Amino acid sequence: MSGSLAVYGGTFDPVHYGHLRSAIEIRQALSVDTVCLVPSYMPPHRQQPDSTPEQRLEMLRLAIDEHAGLRIDDREIKRKGPSFMVETLESIRQEVGSDVSLSLVLGSDAYAIFNEWRRWQDIVDIAHLVVLERPGYALDDVPQSLRDWSMPRWVESPQELLKTAAGKMTRLKVTQLEISASMIRNQINVGLAIDYLLPEKVQDYIRRQKLYSTP
């Protein structure tokens, strides 16, 4: 199916090599044409970002400048307000049409509270669901209602998602880099080096903007 795409959302505060490596492996494993990185304006289920939406957007632009197959979708920042993924996916679906394979990628930590998301049961009517397996989070360790709901939707092969536009779920293992945005922010705040954790262009931007440093 041509034009297939995967949506990979997050705060990206800041974007780092863990995000970028996952995005590349997602594209390879799913065989999609494009992975859309969607920075949230106001995440409803986690701490609010330290940097502004505009700063996070610019860091993403700098980070993926030379990565074919990755692109930024800034509709949540333009929309403002709480960033509800179901609304984002509905908007994307309207643009790409009803036949394009569309997948939402989320970590197993986010999947563990997926039934707390707004209109969560509607999401697989709009897109497939790809759950990234992460240490410390068992995919079966979720509420029984979520387990029962998801059971008939799981498929083993990620390639199955290309055959239909939406409605299926699959697990995906990606390289687990021991990097987190909170770790980077803490390193900066105490004056430690962040080399090789994120692209140099992003590091330079953080220094120029004096981000994540407590006066």
Tell me the pLDDT tens digit for each residue of 2-28: 489 999 999 999 999 999 999 999 999
Given this model, what pLDDT does residue 215 score?
A: 65
Q: How many domains does the chain have?
A: 1
Mean per-residue pLDDT, 204-210: 96
Model confidence pLDDT, tens digit, residues 49-67: 889 999 999 999 999 987 8
- State the CATH number of the domain containing residue 197: 3.40.50.620
- Tokens 């304006």 correspond to 41
Q: Give the other-Cβ count within 10 Å of 49's Cβ.
A: 21
Write down the pLDDT at residue 1.
38
Q: How far apart are CA 163 and CA 195, in angstroms?
A: 41
Q: Provide φ and ψ at 157, rounded to 5°.
A: -95, 125
Q: Is the pLDDT of residue 46 over 90?
A: no
Tell me whether residue 61 is in a domain.
yes
How confident is the model over 81-106, as a mean pLDDT? 96
Residue 89 has pLDDT above 50, yes or no: yes
Q: Which domain holds residue 94?
A: 5-209
Do 55 and 209 touch, CB atoms closer than 8 A? yes
Radius of gyration of the chain (CA): 17
Per-residue pLDDT tens over the stretch 171-182 = 999 998 889 999
